[in-house]
Structure 1
């Protein structure tokens, strides 16, 4: 089975370090990362929405940012997350949601047990050669896999300038449905949609949000301090962000792929 990454990634060692970097900053992640717009969640679930009682899996759920948005739609909702620090934060924030340790490559659920799998901000960390068949295993016939990414809208000039200062590598042009994963017998076709979103920030909270990105989390203390100083300097000197609160424009890029009959 052929798979591809959304963009050329770092070397395997750096990729692994970045993938495992979030747990130590789980509280900051929960506080600073944006949630997901309702319109994107509804579109993701649309292929199975008419089923009535809906069984939904939030895979690689992190601290529950996407889980929270799924609560109104799922009759049965399960969150699976490999990092125990992130899982602990999810339990604290959403104590009524069933949340268990597990990975995309080994999902701790029975065959055909969910109608939809949603993945927020995480598909690019998966070993897709193992994860896609495993997701197909736990989906019921006609179920859907949907993946969402919150991407700062770099088409806006000041956001593009912030991207350059903060060294955030991906932009909207990188996120196309065909680049998320190659077609497989289980998931032969994908659809893509984009949804406008925003997060209210200040210069300090914007810097804190960037501080939860994996490329920052693996920096040395000196490198991280220097980067945060550059980011704050840019935000304090930029008219759109210099005076109190502002809206960070975001696009939630979403793909969905029904399970093959």
Structure 2
């Protein structure tokens, strides 16, 4: 994906902010605890916070969280859902916080949209010494047969990368030069995955998949055909209850420490 296409995907969510807030999953609590376990203090930045899915989990853990989000539609939804959280307009490439002002930077399903050649030094700037940067992603658990088949039917536009490592590679693809970006400022990544799930019906799962960036930028006729194909697959499965089911997922993370 070139920079123009990445930018088009990254800025596609605002028009669907309300649906995103309603249908996107939260994050496994154990995964968020893991993300923060080595942070030197309680000050956490949720970067690219969207509508506040990860922010809400951080609030439940009692940390001192500030949310930063570039899209006005997404930020409006976050402020509506979490009015007591400090939330600021800004981006990973221009974070509106002072130097060394947070102990952890978490990015939930967002880091692959960052221009890490610019964002890497900026994240390092706002992190305290020994602070942690954690990229977190919710992915479908395609070790389950019907989920793997759903992925084949729906395609990458609706499902996205199936594993955390793929997302990390996308996020850090432009950091290959030595002594630049994250490489010069952070240690080696640690990886972990945690079981997760989202209660869905056929209709609400289709709504969820429709909020994927690849679906939002797709031509309308192609998008409708893809969603109808997904619906036909789900309705035709005998092992997917009509009344509701839990979509098997994983919350995965990659964690690096500020040098």
TM-score computed with the length of structure 2 as normaliser? 0.91
Alignment partners' CA distance in 2, 1:26 and 1:220: 19
Q: Does structure 2 conserve the Cα–Cα contact (< 8 Å) formed by 1:187 and 1:259?
A: yes
**Aligned match for 2:147, one of 159, 181, 196:** 159
Alignment partners' CA distance in 2, 1:74 and 1:144: 18
SS of the aligned residue for 2:39 comes to helix
Q: CA deviation at 1:76?
A: 2.3
SS of the aligned residue for 2:100 comes to coil
Residue correspondence of structure 1 range 87-102 to structure 2 within 5 A: 87-102=75-90
Number of corresponding residues: 248
- Partner in structure 1 of residue 57 of structure 2: 69
Question: Any idea what the Cα deviations from partners look like across 1:138-168, whole Å, max 9, x if unmatched?
Answer: 0011111111100001111111111112112
Alignment partners' CA distance in 1, 2:99 and 2:121: 11
Residue correspondence of structure 1 range 106-121 to structure 2 within 5 A: 106-121=94-109
* RMSD of equivalent CA atoms: 1.7
Q: Does structure 1 conserve the Cα–Cα contact (< 8 Å) formed by 2:137 and 2:164?
A: no
- Partner in structure 2 of residue 186 of structure 1: 185
Question: Any idea what the Cα deviations from partners look like across 1:73-128, whole Å, max 9, x if unmatched?
Answer: 35421100000000000000000001110000000000000011100001100000
Alignment partners' CA distance in 2, 1:67 and 1:174: 23
Q: 1:114 to 1:92 in 2, by over 3 A?
A: same
- Partner in structure 1 of residue 178 of structure 2: none
Question: Any idea what the Cα deviations from partners look like across 1:14-43, whole Å, max 9, x if unmatched?
Answer: 222111100000010011110001100110
Q: Does 1:25 align with 2:24?
A: no
Q: Does structure 2 conserve the Cα–Cα contact (< 8 Å) formed by 1:175 and 1:253?
A: no
Q: CA deviation at 1:179?
A: 7.0
- Partner in structure 1 of residue 195 of structure 2: 196
**Structure 1: segments with no counterpart, 5+ residues:** 1-9
Alignment partners' CA distance in 1, 2:169 and 2:255: 11
